[in-house]
Amino acid sequence: MAHSVLHNLVFEFNDNSLTIITVKKNQFIVDFRFFEALDNEKLETILAELPEIYSEITLLIRNKNFIILPESFYNEDVNEIFKLSYTLPENETVWVDKSEQNMGIAYAINTGLIQLIIAKFPRVKIHHEATVIISKLYKEVNFKHPRILITINNESLIIFAINEGDLLLCNSYSVSSNDDIFYFVMLAVEQLHFIPSEMELVILGEPPARNEIFELFKNYINEINIWMEEYQTDHQIITTESLSHSFALQTLVCE
């Protein structure tokens, strides 16, 4: 695996899969690895093959179970707060990303897997997908106009809604079909009193059914756009499918 003190290392945990990307500072990907059916033993083997010196190391968590945590709750028992919304398995703990927007994202992570990562890379920065996207929106998006932005991952959907300077919605939904995606997005449009002809729908990344999703919405929302970050890959890298599907991972690679 190519590495250097000038390279960044980016992990993405997505359910039971792992993506590992080594990237130069100019958004040039020099190594891309994807692993399925991840467990502690397999992760130990993978980590043993990695050098310890990188410029930056980041771990991205993609899962649908997260809650928005107001800053005033940071010192409370976040495990118990999280369990008001989701079941917390015994092998998982709750992690909190603290943002500059006076709120945090609380989410569950596998305790064993995260301990292995930290043992190998004590400097690792850990972020949830929603945290990365919210930070990106505040840096680069005009909040004055009504927009709904969506990211789709396996059987989960995250909807972000912004308007008049505020983040109005950041929530995850379980979905099993494109019709489910259409339902939850249009429900958000209705509940937020957005006018479809005056708003924008942004699909973050490139979900497998992008064209079908576009077809569903085109007769209801006038402006629909795709947001992909630009990156380059070494000619020996054949596929980067998990990267194209994950806007948050693209964001970290292109920082």
* Within a domain: 30: no
What would the pLDDT profile of 46-75 be if each residue is shown by its tens digit? 999 998 889 999 999 998 899 999 999 999
What value does the mean pLDDT of the chain take?
Answer: 92
* Within a domain: 182: yes
Q: What is the mean pLDDT of residues 232-240?
A: 79
The region of weakest confidence among 12-26, 123-137, 168-182 is 12-26
What CA–CA distance (Å, rounded) separates 202 from 181?
13
* Within a domain: 71: no
Phi, psi dihedral angles at 163 (to 5 degrees): -175, 145
* Within a domain: 54: no
- Number of domains within the chain: 1
Q: What is the dihedral of CA 133, 136, 142, 143, to 10 degrees?
A: 40
The rounded percent of the chain whose pLDDT value lies above 90 is: 80
Band of pLDDT at residue 235, cut at 50, 70 and 90 = confident
* Within a domain: 64: no
Written as six digits, the tokens of 87 are 């079941």
Band of pLDDT at residue 6, cut at 50, 70 and 90 = confident
Domain containing 203 equals 141-227
What CA–CA distance (Å, rounded) separates 242 from 246?
6
CATH number where 149 lies: 3.30.420.260
